[in-house]
Structure 1
């Protein structure tokens, strides 16, 4: 149970990292302006995104201590679903809904269920 919670924390953090980094990069200034520290809020958002990635990796490594990789790894695909849902829901990101993307997300969820459901004993 502990491993599953850590893995889900990792998924949530990596999803947050993707969204925050996307927002930061939309307003990311040219390198020269970054060096002049005129865009502190954008740099802060970038730091938050990178920090979320680091915490995600820590949670992932700890989850690996408690659960086998073949049970944990499929959970990473949840981040694709979460990021897609948030990206089309948050107007700041400017992402548009496409049926082909929706179909891909449905396939990911079906695949996750097929891999994760317990095997029936015969």
Structure 2
């Protein structure tokens, strides 16, 4: 096996740089940044006690994406739980 001229730690650094410059990682960081800006914008206009429960919508969105893109199936208990999240958030939005 041929020895590399790079120091042993350099290969880890090269792997880290390669991962961080991956288009998927950059797209993920961009989405996270946009989400953070939108969250801060929302907090300027809505009380935290009303806005924060809407973070639970991520459970609903992720489940829908998993069904659509990954072909996952939904058990009746999961559908009931997601329905309760949506119902609770609707009540908060209308009368909160």
Q: Smaller-chain TM-score range?
A: 0.5 to 0.7
TM-score of the pair, normalised by structure 2: 0.67
**Larger gyration radius, structure 1 or structure 2:** 2
Residue 68 of structure 2, aligned match among 51, 64, 89: 89
Count, aligned residues:
84
Distance 2:86 2:23 in 1: 33
Distance 2:72 2:29 in 1: 22
1:54 and 2:27 are equivalent in the alignment: no
> Any gaps of 5 or more consecutive residues in structure 2?
1-11
RMSD of aligned residue pairs (Cα, Å):
2.9
1:110 and 2:87 are equivalent in the alignment: yes
Matches within 5 A, 1:1-122: 35=15, 37=18, 43-90=22-69, 93-118=70-95
Structure 2 SS opposite 1:117: helix
Q: Flag the structure with more relative contact order, 1 or 2, with Cα contacts below 8 A and sequence separation at least 6.
A: 1
TM-score of the pair, normalised by structure 1: 0.55
Poorly superposed stretches of 4+, deviation over 2 Å? 93-100
> Any gaps of 5 or more consecutive residues in structure 1?
1-31
